[in-house]
Every structure is written in structure tokens, then in C-alpha cells.
Copies of this chain bind each other. A is one copy, B any other.
Amino acid sequence: MRITQADIAKIANVSQPTVSRVVSGDGRVEEGIRQRVLEVMRAHNYQPDARARSLRSKRAGLIGLVVKRPKGGLSDDPFFASLISAIMDFLVGKPYHLCADMTLDAQSQVGLYDELLRSRRVDGLILVESEALDERVHRLQADHFPFVLIGNPMGNEAIWSVDNDNVLAGRIATQHLFDQGFRRIGFLAGPSETTVTRDRLEGYMQAIRGRQNLPLVWHSDFGSQAARETTRERILTAPNVPDALVVLDDFMAMGAVQALREFGATIPGDMGLVSFNDSAICRLIEGGLSSVSLNIETLVQTACERLVDTIEGREPEGPRRTLIPSALVSRGTSQPREVARR
């Protein structure tokens, strides 16, 4: 049998509301009584019931995270791991817990939407989506439900959203290679329909403007093996082989590294490399892989602060659309050619 406020009240010879006042720190309780109640609570190891509390006070203390991925599609995704890790970090000590859900298809999306939001299970939602074209978003807006999008809102300025500034990241990566003395810079991209490819490629295009006449772009599937094959069969055999590559992510870059090694090319002597994400694998090769770090902590912190502000009725600071700048971590694969050659 559970100890309730009513039980505590009876034992301490006060009324249940008084116990409630003590629990929630309402000042209007005489010090003597307060102490007595606290004592009884401690003695009986009382713990308030979150459900009853939330039913009455309209605060669930839960923040939902919804990710749309195929089954098993998260385990190898370092972005997701960092994301959820950063959210959990952020929430430590705050009066919210993380409620994480995955959906497979549009069908279960809507179900989850009802299940999580309209049933008032969570106070707000973090949506992770590369593009916010979803019907959900409209429903969320129509219902005035607090939510923040991590990803691209497709120009919808009414949505609170946070994203990595992938255009900037692409520019930084390319610019860095120019600065290090590389002159024919190529881009090893992912599938052209993905936002991340589009954005980083856009940054690359901006950076080469005026410095390199011809963009050198190759599209490949994700993953190190696909990138390795593309590098071997299409980049290294191209009529105009670049002297440096911006690669869409660390895994693909590692594939490129393999292909270059097999070919007998030195890095960065024959080919400079910069990739994105700055994941743990960047340190797995001699000298390290230069990579543009995504600053996921800041991204998550910004998103969470916006969301919590919205939930708690404050107007969040800053613009609705926030882009988190990236910073390059320069390692061996982008050292100046002179240095690399001596």
C-alpha cells in the first residue's frame, strides 16, 4: 500500500492540503508544522505520485523525441547517438525526462502523434527530420503544441527550428583546403536528393567561386565502401583529378582513404582530405582525419532551451530559425602540401 499525502496528513495531524503546501514549498505554513510534516514524510519515505500531480497541474515532466528511421536504422548513426546523448546531458538535473520514440512510417507517425501529444503524455516535442514537410508539423502548429525541429523547415519561418549550418560547414571545409595550398578541390558527395548533401555542396560552390573555374563533384551512396569504389573508379580515373577532396562524412572519407592507399597515393601529399562530423573515427588513421565538427551539444542545447521556454510559457530568445556554426578540426589529412612533402 502506497503512502499518500492523506496518510502523511493524518499522521502529522494536519490536513492533506497542508502536506501539499509543504511538498511544493508554499511559504504559508508555520515553521513548526512544516518541520513536523517533513519529519513524518521522511520517516515514512514519502514520494509524491507523479501521475496525480501531473493530472492536476498539467505538467508531464516529459519531453518527447521522435525520430523517423527504418528498423535498426539508428545503431550505426553517430549523429543520432550524439544527439540523444546531448539531450540526456542537457536534461540532467532539470525537471524533465526524455521520452524517445522511433517511427517507421507515416502511419505510425500519426499514431505516435496522438499517443504522445494529444494524450498529453509529453509537454513538448523534439522532431528530428531532415525536412519538415510532414503533416505532423501542421497539426502541431494547429494545436499550438510546443515543439522544436532539428533539421530543415523548408523555409517555414513560423517553426522553431535548429540545424547545423551545413552550408557554412561546406564553405569552411573548402576554404580550409584553399588556405592550406590546395588548388583543385573536388567534392565527394552523398545522394544528391539528401539535404545534407545539397547544403554542404552549396557551401563548396560558394567557396570555389572565383578561385576555381570548374566544380568537381562526384555523387556516391553513403558508407565507406561506396565511397571507396567511387574514389577508385571515378575520381582517381577522372581526366581532371583533384588535389584535395571535401568528403560528405567521416565514414565516406575513410573509404576514400582506403582507395587512395590502394592506389598508392599519399595523404595529404597527393590528395588532401577534409570531411564532416568529427566523429571518433577521425583519429583512427595516422595523423588524423581533418573534419568539420558539428557542435551537436550547442545544437541540442539551443533546441532544448527553445523548447523548454515555449513549454513554460516564455518567448524563446533569438530567431525562430537558428543555424549552429561548425568549426574545423584540422588534422593530418589537410596539412599544407609543402609541410607534407618535406
A binding-site residues for B, Cβ under 8 Å: 45, 47-55, 60-62, 67, 71-78, 80-82, 84-86, 88-89, 91-93, 97-104, 108, 114-116, 118-121, 224-225, 251, 254-255, 258, 261-262, 279-281, 283-286, 296-297
CA distance A221 to B284 in the complex (A): 16
* Whole-angstrom CA separation of A92 from B105 in the bound complex: 11
| Copies of this chain, whole number | 2
Taking the closest CB of chain B, its distance from the CB of A268, in whole angstroms, is 17
Q: Are B99 and A97 in contact (CB under 8 A)?
A: yes
Q: Is the CB of B224 within 8 A of A120?
A: no
Q: How far is the CB of A78 from chain B (nearest CB, A)?
A: 7
- Which 8 residue pairs are nearest across A and B when measured between Cβ atoms? A74-B85, A81-B81, A47-B118, A50-B119, A75-B82, A88-B102, A75-B85, A50-B121
Docked CA distance A45–B224 (Å)? 47
Q: A74 to B89, alpha carbons, bound, how many Å?
A: 9
Task: Note all chain B residues with C-beta closer than 8 A to A91.
Answer: 101-102
A79 to chain B, nearest CB (A): 10
Q: Quick one: which of B49, B97, B119, B262 contacts A116, CB cutoff 8 A? A: B97
Inside 8 A of A47's CB, which chain B residues have their CB?
114, 118-119
Query: Complex formed: what's the CA distance from A67 to B88 in Å?
Result: 10
Which single residue of chain B is at the shortest CB-CB distance from A58? B51
Asked if B224 contacts A50 (CB within 8 A), the reply is no
Q: Which residues of chain B are within 8 angstroms of A75 by Cβ–Cβ distance?
A: 78, 81-82, 85-86, 296
A24 and B99 alpha carbons, distance in the complex (Å): 24
Which residue of B51, B81, B255, B297 contacts A54 across the interface (Cβ within 8 Å)? B51
The interface residues of chain B lying within 8 Å CB-to-CB of A101 are: 88, 91-92, 97-98
